[in-house]
């Protein structure tokens, strides 16, 4: 079967060819000695030729689409004919066919720097030509240079959660002289190691990062590379962003997220009494459980700690007192017995579910006058046995 490729021969296939675009363009770098040495070392380690490149010509990547009348990409079997014409200064060539393909994203090689090119896509189906052929705009091919341009910018296009993690779609804009080969780096802002991804032969300047933690700040960087990934742009182009809030994004799913905190916490201090010569009081604590608890969205338990919270100046004179309680998931109150009078206690609660551990809630209970019975001038050296570390650090906390 043969076809005559003209602009006005159109079949009745009810499909529309979109305008083709030049996604990216690339001209090999002028090699410096360091680049030559690394390329030779790379090729020897890869068990390939010691030549400095199989294709030192410039290239572009073209992209287009074929839509049905409903605006959605069609699944009709199609073939594409790629043609080009070039111009240099005032000289312009005739159209010539350079490729036959079934793909809508293709590289076109063998181009000359400093020339301009126009590319034409013709769609062929079983009935002949489908829709009118479409041309790109004229595009210039960059001259060979010693380095590559850093991307102009990088942005967060969107983020969403899938399963128990966040996915983030990143996009970037190439530098002045283009580029088709990139590398992405990402990590949490406060710790961790960079993860990386080479991005080459990509139909868009976009990449989706997966398995990110909720409620976390990340740094994402992008660099332009040469075709062999031996030379990169410096410094990198970067962005910092915060991932989705877990509870708000998932509808407070406690299997995925650490649960909400206890709320409406109240402390009721009982009357002072004597136990083993020590003035003490009992403290009753009441609270409201997280409102999103249900039979299918449950918590595992509640963890409560208490400790004295003296001023730093008095901490070494005060007898330490701290403890903890592991409470059932349905508990709505607890009584702490025998807390020392004339003291201030920090009472901390956390809730645990399959998704993690909630943030702490800290409430303070002042029993009597805070440490009013302590006179540092009357305390001997032997009595100063308590330390700040004992007062502030010797108590447990929940960890994942």
Pairwise pLDDT comparison (148 vs 241), residue with the higher score: 241
Q: Which tens digits make up the pLDDT trace of 27-70?
A: 888 865 454 555 445 444 444 332 233 356 899 999 999 988 88
The continuous run of DSSP H or E covering 158 comes out as: strand 153-162
Backbone torsions φ then ψ of 66, nearest 5 degrees:
-125, 120
Which pLDDT score, from 0 to 100, does residue 248 have?
96
**386 pLDDT tier (thresholds 50, 70, 90):** very low
Question: Measured between alpha carbons, how far is residue 155 from residues 171, 172, 225, 254 in Å?
Answer: 5, 6, 19, 31
- CA–CA distance, 188 with 193 (Å, rounded to integer): 8
Which pLDDT score, from 0 to 100, does residue 264 have?
97
Which pLDDT score, from 0 to 100, does residue 377 have?
59
Which pLDDT score, from 0 to 100, does residue 392 have?
43
Boundaries of every domain in the chain: 15-140, 153-244, 263-393
| 29 DSSP 8-state letter | P
The most confident of 55-64, 320-329, 368-377, by mean pLDDT: 320-329
Please check whether the two domains, 153-244 and 263-393, share a CATH topology. Answer: yes
Q: How far out from the chain centre does Cα 202 lie?
A: 20
The fold adopted by the segment(s) 153-244 is Immunoglobulin-like (2.60.40)
Which pLDDT score, from 0 to 100, does residue 374 have?
72
* CA-closest candidate to residue 236, choices 278, 161, 183, 289: 183
- Report whether 398 contacts 303 (CB < 8 A): yes
- CA–CA distance, 293 with 253 (Å, rounded to integer): 9
Q: Which tens digits make up the pLDDT trace of 67-117?
A: 888 878 887 878 999 999 999 888 999 999 999 999 999 999 999 988 999
Which pLDDT score, from 0 to 100, does residue 160 have?
97
Which pLDDT score, from 0 to 100, does residue 42 have?
46
Which token pair is 192? 């961790």
The CATH class, in words, for 15-140 is mainly beta
- Report whether 221 contacts 197 (CB < 8 A): no
Which pLDDT score, from 0 to 100, does residue 148 have?
87
Give domain 263-393's CATH architecture: Sandwich (2.60)
**399 pLDDT tier (thresholds 50, 70, 90):** low
Q: Residue 384 pLDDT > 70, yes or no?
A: no
Which pLDDT score, from 0 to 100, does residue 34 have?
55
Q: Which tens digits make up the pLDDT trace of 283-312?
A: 999 999 999 999 999 999 999 999 999 878
């Amino acid at each position: 079967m043969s076809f005559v490729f003209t602009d006005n021969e159109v079949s009745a296939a009810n499909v529309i060819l979109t305008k083709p675009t030049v996604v990216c363009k690339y001209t090999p770098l002028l090699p410096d000695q360091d680049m030559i040495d690394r390329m030779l070392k790379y090729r020897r380690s890869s068990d390939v030729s010691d030549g400095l490149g199989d294709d030192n010509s410039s290239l572009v990547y073209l992209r287009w689409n074929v839509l049905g009348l409903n605006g959605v990409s069609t699944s009709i079997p199609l073939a594409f004919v790629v043609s080009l014409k070039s111009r240099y200064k005032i000289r312009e060539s005739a159209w010539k066919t350079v490729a036959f393909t079934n793909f809508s994203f293709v590289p076109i090689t063998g181009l000359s720097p400093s020339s301009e090119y126009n590319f034409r896509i013709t769609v062929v189906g079983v009935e002949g030509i489908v829709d009118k052929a479409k041309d790109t705009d004229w595009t210039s091919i960059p001259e060979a240079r010693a380095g590559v341009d850093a991307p102009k910018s990088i942005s967060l296009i969107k983020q969403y959660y899938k399963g128990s993690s966040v996915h983030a779609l990143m996009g970037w804009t190439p530098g002045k002289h283009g580029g088709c080969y990139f590398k992405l780096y990402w990590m949490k802002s406060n710790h961790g190691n960079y993860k990386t991804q080479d991005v080459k032969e990509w139909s868009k300047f976009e990449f989706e990062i997966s398995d990110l933690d909720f409620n976390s700040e990340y740094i994402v960087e992008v660099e332009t590379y040469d075709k062999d990934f031996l030379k990169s742009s410096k410094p990198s182009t970067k962005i910092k962003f915060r991932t989705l809030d877990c509870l708000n994004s998932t509808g407070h799913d406690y299997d995925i997220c650490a649960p909400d905190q206890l709320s409406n916490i109240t402390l009721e201090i009982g009357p002072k009494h004597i136990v083993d010569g020590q003035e003490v009081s009992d403290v009753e604590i009441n609270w409201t459980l997280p409102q999103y608890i249900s039979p299918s969205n449950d918590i595992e338990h509640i963890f409560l700690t208490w400790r004295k919270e003296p001023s730093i100046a008095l901490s070494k004179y005060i007898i330490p007192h701290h403890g903890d309680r592991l409470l059932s998931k349905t508990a709505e109150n607890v009584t702490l017995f025998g807390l020392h009078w004339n003291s201030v206690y920090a009472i901390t609660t956390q809730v645990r579910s399959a998704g993690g551990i909630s943030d702490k809630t800290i409430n303070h209970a002042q029993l009597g006058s805070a440490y009013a019975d302590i006179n540092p001038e009357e305390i001997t050296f032997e009595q100063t046995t308590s330390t700040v570390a004992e007062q502030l650090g010797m108590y447990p906390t929940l960890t994942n």
